[in-house]
A and B are shown apart, each in its own frame.
Chain A
């Protein structure tokens, strides 16, 4: 059973709209939570990294939140653009960088 579950599996929104992606995890112990963006045919690119003590972090139009008590994170995208079309991957680290658990990703499509 995957220890990092993402929802929805896929999402279609209109350009300019906002959206929120969810990540629930059961990984323990918890070290940090990362969000990556993966364009089709490319490798993942880091958006944010949050540790236990951080409950929100922004990177431009991307804002990640973390609730370590409920083991939930969300990625909010504001004023979506066509270039936001990609898979968004949630990754939870149980300790060192060699012990990271990857979610299956949410496939976001932004339509004009």
Chain B
């Protein structure tokens, strides 16, 4: 079985300060992990993905995430928040044997607010 838990439903930071969005997962297979961002009335956009290569993954817009197998975590970070980062963020785990369905699980989302 697999699951994904986003530990914070809402995170608020000041512009220019670091961002940390937390994600824990469980998976019976070697997982692929993704972070997506959803701006209001827009579709989901991929920020970054981990697929068993380097454990520190760099994405778009200055975001990065580190895969920690021992902690079953894949937290999203950014050194300095920008007003345009305000959005909903989803952590996604995808795993399963090739012969079966794609098991794609979204977290419940973290709403990121940026204070001026």
Do the two chains bind?
Answer: no
